[in-house]
Structure 1
Amino acid sequence: MLVSMKDMLQHALRDGYAVGQFNINNLEWVGAVLSTAQQCRSPVILGVSGGTVKHMLGLKCIHDIVVNAMEYLHIDVPVALHLDHGTTQEACEAAIAAGFSSIMFDGSHLPFREKPGHYPPPGDAGPQQRYLCGGRTGDHRRQ
């Protein structure tokens, strides 16, 4: 089962260790990263970029692949699933709906004045799902 990235990172901060994020690009990467995290007894964040979403048949499919791989490989270390650099609010909302632990909305491509309205709020997507939200605004000196 995936864990809350917020809880994972708070534990790491409290206990003084880092948690690595590794972007997954296909099924082999999922297995390799999960197996290595298990062998090292280390929490891990699996990152997913926009290109990976298309290549791996969508956010829900990626979520299900990760959850099934965790079960198949008997993974018992904390694992979070993160949408990295989601470029639309719709993509971020779809990741939340699919069961991702966290999202990062990348609004660096938007005009400065449009940025605030596009960032999804962090919060609670239901009684069983909490997610962490971050954002990237880009360089404002050029605007």
Structure 2
Amino acid sequence: MATPSLPDSDLFIVDISVSDSAVRPKITVLADGEQGITIAQCATISRRINKKIEEAFGEELSYTLEVSSPGVDFPLTQPQQFKRNIGRNLKLKLQEGIEKTGKLEEVTETGINLTEEIKQKGKKATYAAIQIPFADIVKANVVISFK
């Protein structure tokens, strides 16, 4: 119901979750776009999803619907989100618990190219270009810098 409710072709669904509450479940839809997403676009998505839910389940269904953009602390999950963050530093958690931090250089069809900062005690940091397939990424967050 969510994807057909998107008002513009550059928008995409990032995540959908439903709370466990039996009384009044909360449906949270996170959407984003290549240029970000506006409050007006979130409101349009919300109205369209509400209409689809009412058509499918009737007006008696009690729920709360929240449509918003993912916050800066929300992990990157879609290739489009990675593309929007080229040039920024990412912190990645990979399979087997390995962590990598580095600058996102490029997004390909199958993964990302990252310039990893390798820190060694008592030495200057060195940098290495690495390729990481999307399938190996468990979690990816943008590193927020206040410099």
TM-score of the superposed pair, with normalisation by structure 1: 0.28
| More strand by percentage | 2
Structure showing greater relative contact order (alpha-carbon pairs closer than 8 Å, 6 or more residues apart): 1
Q: Which structure: larger Rg?
A: 2
TM-score of the superposed pair, with normalisation by structure 2: 0.28
| More helix by percentage | 1
